[in-house]
Structure 1
Amino acid sequence: MYPTGVKGTRDWTQISDVAAIPANAGSCSLSCYVRPGMTGTAWFDDISVVRVVEPALRSVLTAPVYRGRITADGPRLIRARVWVDLRDHDVQAQDVQVTGRLSGVADGKPHGVVTQQPKTDQGTIAPLTLELPTDRLPTGDYRLDIELVRTGGRVISTVSHRLTRLADNDQPKCTIDEHRRLLVDGKPFFPLGMYWTDIQENDLKLYAESKFNCLMPYGSPSRPQMDLAHKHGLKVIYSLKHWYAGSPECPPFIRSAADEEPLIRGRVREMRDHPALLAWYLNDELPQRFLAQLEAHQRWVAEEDRDHPTWVALYQVNEVGSYLNTFDVIGTDPYPIPRSPASMAAAWTATTFREVEGARPMWQVPQLHNWANYARSEKERKQGRTPTTEEVRSMAWQCITEGATGLVFYSWFDVKQNPDVPFDKQWSGLKELAAEIDRMAPMILSTDPVPQPGVKVNDGRPPAWLHWLARSHRGSLYLFAVNDGDGAGRITFRLPGAAARVRELSTNTIVPHDGPNFTVQLDRLEVRLYQIELR
């Protein structure tokens, strides 16, 4: 957590923030400091740490995964994951129950009730899953009220979720399906893009020569700039991330939270029908003290635009669960090189997936930049370096094998200014990577069932440095395997049946196999993409 500090000559200024401490933390520290390179004198006084009372009840919809929407394709069950926390409440688990009630918004008509008793596991209250069927729900809006009720009927806490049963012929332009895939005009779409500062046509022409299909410009584009993106066949993730009163980059004409709503709603109405629009970018790493504003922005955008999801990026990877009501799609931004191992990409993606209970799409943000571009001292500048082509490829595939359904790299403007690698060299490698991911996108996003009993690695004991994903597509089995750089060795894959042929796609080589098994050497950072024909 890094609260916004002060610069210049200022009177006493209160600085505060909210952070979640991991449950397994042994200790934590608070540091008051001045950034390297700054001069002057700083005074700190009245430092305090206050424990925030945790809510007794917390819940997330795990089905449906997108804005509570139920379609003809599902889900067949509404699922809500529920956590009960009684540490700050004078009651025991055996004295409460959790009840979920589904009712119509317009008429209040009940459509189902489910009740469960919380259970403890080694002194901790285990999470609950509430389920209600959707097969008989008519078109309309619904409300799922989840109550924590004490013996005797007193309600301790309530959490509500809004749901909508869409008409069978209702197909939003961009939506998220139950497999966490973005659908554009009804077809699966893998967002493959980069962060930009602003849209310039010369850059767009160059960028459009690649298989990158979208961009996220920090400067909220004008309509002519959106037209340029559309002209070059590119989609835009539109940034609204600056418009939070009290945030470091908030424009001066936003002085309070009340100023935000007309601006957000107005801009969404202005741009929501543009053919280049892919999604809305609502948050760039704002801390938890902005949660109320973040939730409001999510609500306003969803009310104004039913056709495009929202996306946010956070470095607060262990706090993502606290932000669940502020986005439709999540991204976290592991930037390890050179200070940490490249395996940070897989670790952060896996943690993010757990934080959202596997129930939200992830468009991850892999590193392209040299940290020297952001150095505040000569020492920092000398310590930086640009990730190698091998590191970038490994980090991208680490994210994909751990569940990402989109990648937005950081950043185009860094690729143009990284001091240690010529632009043409890095851009050439990135174009190759984009082309590779684009070729594999139909397989990555495929929902065809993998033949049972699935794929096993090293008899069920895969090394920690291996990350892999199996997919079926048009009768073939595809296996994506990546080494995160923390080790190397031989890997034996056991397939769900005897193989007729195993082909490694990036090298177009046939791999020897023995019935359902094949063994390969996977060196540090190496990526292997296999197409397998089963007998």
Structure 2
Amino acid sequence: MTHRIAFPLFCSLLGVIGMAQPPTELAPTNPGFDEGVQGWALVKPENASHDAAIGRTAAGSVKLSAEDQFHPYVAQSIRDLHGGAAYTLSVWARGVPGGQAEVALKIEYYNAAGENTRGQYSNAITLDSDQWQQITLEAVADPDTNRAALLLRLMSAGEAWFDDVTFAMTKEPAPVTTNPVRVAVEAGQATTVRADVRLRDAWDGQQPQAAISNADGAVIPGATAEAVAGENGLVKVTAEAPALPAGDYLLKLTFGPNSGTLKLFACELRKPANLTDSGTLLVGGEPFFPIGVYHVSQSEYQMLAEHGFNAVQGGNPTALEDFGKLLDEGLRTGIMIDVPFYTGGKVAANLPNSLEKIAAFRDHPAVLNWKIIDEPDLRPDVIDEVAGAYRAMRAADDAHPVLLTIASPSHFPYCVNFCDMLQVDPYPLPRNPLTQVSDTVRAAKAVLRPWQHLTAVLQCGWVMDRDRPANQPTYDQALCMVHLALINGARGIFWYSMHDPGWDLSKTPLWERIKELNSETARLGQLVITGEPLPPVTVDNNDIQAAAWELDGRTQVLVTNPTPEPRVATFTLLQGVKGCELLRGDGEVEMVGGAVKVSLPGYGCATMGVR
């Protein structure tokens, strides 16, 4: 699981410049910090300052410092970029002798609508001396890009100085570039494909030629395309693709002497035997609500089971004998195994070994699912291998679902075409509201087929700061996140992480109540997977979230307040309300006319019985 930090959009940053051609270098405003921090936005200001005494080529630099994990940064916006071009951000940085400050660069691309379409980090660099070293990052802009935000960021506690920033186009756009670059289509059905196209040369109005070829290069007849002028110099293309068998294809769009390609992946989804029509996992033919955790060792399975976990993301030893022992330990301890097949961050390279394991162990009772990879949306080197891996794994096993974990909601509509189970991993703390969980789960649920399973991966922390957790929720926050996930459609909960560098969950405050948390989660999970969901609950306070199920002839409503302050709301059900009682949790409930009035403390949760 990749650690990610969410950033605000930079719609009004200073530093607007024009781009002249043929020169490719773009001079940011005040690149050497000779004029203080003019032209740069500071986040947060108390952790960023101008240092007039220290500089690389002349006195003056920007200093970032932090005693915690806030990760301050400075940023500037550059306008009038060319979509499809590659740009390189470069800066010089230094630390202090013996220091361990980690720094990184980031380029965020935006389109004319202000949407952040792409963000890319450099590798983190540790600054352990006062010698200046250069850091660079190259990132290709999307075809509709017209602006970028440049971020210089401190990734850890410590001190770092930045100076002499440059930003340049290092590769011109291809003659024809498309957005999106890949599209999923349903196998066996003719499909309309729409794309924004950026032409390096001005469009003369000539209509494009379209051709589709398969993985062997053979042309599939029947493709056509039409183009119209769009905004901001884009050409809007509508292509008609014939029915395609499941497989990988290229759609070639030719404008005069130039052409570009768009990748087509024809998907053929079908429900595996171990999922119900409503997306509930089946284990031994019975409904199963997973409560799992990442980054565990095989020796901890027994301890985890004793603390209320029933699943883990397991290991992936290459040898079949060792892999079998891992599954056997899961069976012995009652732990189901989410099997990760992405050792080394690879997909296609691992596929022969993955298929060998599926063939050998698809009947093992401890297998919960097969996982292609974690967050392929953040791995451009392997994302195009996912579709083929899904087809191969499903062909090898028609019972166990195949899983993807996806980080960015913008990638949900594409990626859900190549998995039976989807994990989403919203991590709001320490800076974002807990509703990041509900927003992410709701976005995923909206594009999943009814039978596809959805699990929310929630944060239990992974960063220590001076012997205390830096991003661990309190018990109340953790339980609130569980409620937010289930209210909005999740049918499983995993936690990140048991272990990370310098991190051991069992030695943190939340572990003291983890058994209690898992017990509550199991109770809620049983309601979700065995109850009958009722029509949406009408709530008069947008801060409060609620959903209702009927179980054993009784209506139960889950309700939560994801804000830190107390909230009061009234809610009604479509079938009406005659009475209510608090079955479990915080706050107070009472009948007010034909509605239920509920008062909840900050991060409060409740289960109510309604008749």
Shorter-chain TM-score: which interval? 0.5 to 0.7
Q: Is structure 2 residue 266 aligned with structure 1 residue 174?
A: no
Deviation (angstroms), 1:437: 2.5
Corresponding letter in the other structure for 1:175: L
Q: Could you list the runs of 5+ residues in structure 1 that have no partner in the other structure?
A: 70-77, 99-112, 131-140, 151-155, 246-256
Deviation (angstroms), 1:363: 1.1
Corresponding letter in the other structure for 1:468: A
Q: Is structure 2 residue 459 aligned with structure 1 residue 371?
A: no
Higher relative contact order (CA 8 A, sep 6+): 1
Contact persistence 1:213–1:234 (CA under 8 A): yes
Give 1:530's aligned residue: 608
Question: CA, structure 1 residues 427+473, in 2 after alignment: closer, same or farther (shift >3 Å)?
Answer: closer
Give 1:405's aligned residue: 491
Give 2:356's aligned residue: 266
Corresponding letter in the other structure for 2:577: A
Contact persistence 1:57–1:82 (CA under 8 A): no
Question: CA, structure 1 residues 301+48, in 2 after alignment: closer, same or farther (shift >3 Å)?
Answer: farther
Question: CA, structure 1 residues 475+260, in 2 after alignment: closer, same or farther (shift >3 Å)?
Answer: same
Give distance in 2, aligned partners of 1:175 and 1:15: 46
TM-score (normalizing by structure 1): 0.66
Q: Which of 11, 29, 48 is equivalent to 2:150?
A: 29
Once the two structures are superposed, the pairs formed by residues 48-59 of structure 1 within 5 Å of their partners are 48=169, 53-55=177-179
Question: CA, structure 1 residues 419+227, in 2 after alignment: closer, same or farther (shift >3 Å)?
Answer: closer
Give 1:239's aligned residue: 340
Once the two structures are superposed, the pairs formed by residues 313-392 of structure 1 within 5 Å of their partners are 313-321=405-413, 323-353=415-445, 360-372=452-464, 384=470, 386-392=472-478
- Whose strand fraction is larger, Structure 1's or Structure 2's? 2
Once the two structures are superposed, the pairs formed by residues 220-299 of structure 1 within 5 Å of their partners are 220=317, 222-245=323-346, 259-285=349-375, 286-299=378-391
Q: Which of 578, 582, 603 is equivalent to 1:504?
A: 582
Contact persistence 2:459–2:497 (CA under 8 A): yes
Corresponding letter in the other structure for 1:457: V
Give distance in 1, aligned partners of 2:345 and 2:574: 52
Q: Which of 285, 290, 303 is equivalent to 1:191?
A: 290
Corresponding letter in the other structure for 2:434: A
Give 1:75's aligned residue: none
Question: CA, structure 1 residues 435+359, in 2 after alignment: closer, same or farther (shift >3 Å)?
Answer: closer
Give 2:59's aligned residue: none
Q: Is structure 2 residue 196 aligned with structure 1 residue 85?
A: yes
Give distance in 1, aligned partners of 2:122 and 2:449: 27
Give distance in 1, aligned partners of 2:470 and 2:138: 29
Give distance in 2, aligned partners of 1:56 and 1:498: 46
Deviation (angstroms), 1:225: 2.3
Contact persistence 1:210–1:435 (CA under 8 A): no
Deviation (angstroms), 1:331: 2.0
Contact persistence 1:229–1:276 (CA under 8 A): yes
Contact persistence 2:272–2:401 (CA under 8 A): no
Q: Could you list the runs of 5+ residues in structure 2 that have no partner in the other structure?
A: 1-119, 128-132, 211-221, 255-260
Question: CA, structure 1 residues 225+258, in 2 after alignment: closer, same or farther (shift >3 Å)?
Answer: closer
Question: CA, structure 1 residues 181+36, in 2 after alignment: closer, same or farther (shift >3 Å)?
Answer: same
Corresponding letter in the other structure for 2:440: W
TM-score (normalizing by structure 2): 0.59
Contact persistence 2:184–2:267 (CA under 8 A): no
Give 2:555's aligned residue: 477
Give 1:208's aligned residue: 305
Once the two structures are superposed, the pairs formed by residues 412-427 of structure 1 within 5 Å of their partners are 412-413=498-499, 416-417=504-505, 420-421=508-509, 423=511, 425-427=512-514
Question: CA, structure 1 residues 390+14, in 2 after alignment: closer, same or farther (shift >3 Å)?
Answer: closer
Deviation (angstroms), 1:392: 0.4
Contact persistence 1:334–1:366 (CA under 8 A): yes
Corresponding letter in the other structure for 1:434: T
Give distance in 2, aligned partners of 1:13 and 1:301: 44
Give 1:455's aligned residue: 537
Give distance in 2, aligned partners of 1:146 and 1:407: 38
Structure 2 residue matching 1:294: 3-state secondary structure: helix
Contact persistence 1:346–1:484 (CA under 8 A): no
Structure 1 residue matching 2:390: 3-state secondary structure: helix
Deviation (angstroms), 1:30: 5.0
Structure 1 residue matching 2:590: 3-state secondary structure: coil
Structure 2 residue matching 1:278: 3-state secondary structure: strand
Deviation (angstroms), 1:493: 0.8
Deviation (angstroms), 1:410: 1.4
Give distance in 2, aligned partners of 1:359 and 1:85: 32
Q: Please tell me the root mean square deviation across aligned C-alpha atoms, in Å.
A: 5.4
Structure 1 residue matching 2:597: 3-state secondary structure: strand
Once the two structures are superposed, the pairs formed by residues 115-134 of structure 1 within 5 Å of their partners are none
Structure 2 residue matching 1:196: 3-state secondary structure: coil
Q: Which of 480, 483, 497 is equivalent to 1:394?
A: 480
Question: CA, structure 1 residues 362+270, in 2 after alignment: closer, same or farther (shift >3 Å)?
Answer: same
Corresponding letter in the other structure for 2:326: Q
Give distance in 2, aligned partners of 1:172 and 1:390: 36
Give distance in 2, aligned partners of 1:321 and 1:354: 9
Q: Percent identity?
A: 18
Question: CA, structure 1 residues 42+142, in 2 after alignment: closer, same or farther (shift >3 Å)?
Answer: same
Aligned residues: 462
Deviates most, 511-520 or 404-413: 511-520
Give distance in 1, aligned partners of 2:537 and 2:432: 31
Corresponding letter in the other structure for 1:407: I
Structure 2 residue matching 1:301: 3-state secondary structure: helix
Deviation (angstroms), 1:394: 0.4
Give 2:594's aligned residue: 516
Contact persistence 1:370–1:387 (CA under 8 A): no
Corresponding letter in the other structure for 1:421: P
Structure 1 residue matching 2:574: 3-state secondary structure: coil
Deviation (angstroms), 1:520: 1.1
Contact persistence 1:18–1:289 (CA under 8 A): no
Give distance in 1, aligned partners of 2:382 and 2:165: 24
Contact persistence 1:142–1:162 (CA under 8 A): yes
Question: CA, structure 1 residues 149+210, in 2 after alignment: closer, same or farther (shift >3 Å)?
Answer: same
Give distance in 1, aligned partners of 2:574 and 2:454: 28
Contact persistence 2:226–2:237 (CA under 8 A): no
Deviation (angstroms), 1:145: 11
Deviation (angstroms), 1:524: 1.6
